[in-house]
Amino acid sequence: MPRVLPRHCEAVIRKDSWPKLPLFELLREAGNLEEKELYRTFNYSIGMVLVVPKDSTDDILSRLQGLNEQAYVIGEIVACDEQSERVELV
């Protein structure tokens, strides 16, 4: 996500906003990986991220569900200073 955001924006991702596949817990334990590494390297089971205007969220979710796609609102984009992490996991 950091590559698609302007320097003055960061993504605030809610870690509990989508179901995690059990495979990732096995990877974490077998590889002795930190949770942050699962997000950074493996996207923790998120296949694709769409950044859309907040007022379009319901329409986009409805369209995706109509295509039999599972979709979740996983966070939001907020203003930040240029030295921020660019992705905050909460």
Pairing relationship of beta strands 75-79 and 9-13 according to DSSP bridges:
antiparallel
**Whole-prediction pTM:** 0.77
Q: How far apart are CA 44 and CA 18, in angstroms?
A: 10
- The helix, strand and coil proportions of the chain, stated in percent and rounded to the nearest 5, come to 40, 15, 45
Enter the tokens of residue 33: 């990986």
pLDDT single digits (tens) 37-83: 777 777 777 888 899 999 999 999 999 999 999 999 999 999 988 77
- pLDDT tens digits for 7-39? 889 999 998 898 888 888 888 888 888 888 777
Alpha-carbon distance of 20 to 36, in angstroms, equals 14
CATH no., domain 2-89:
3.90.650.10
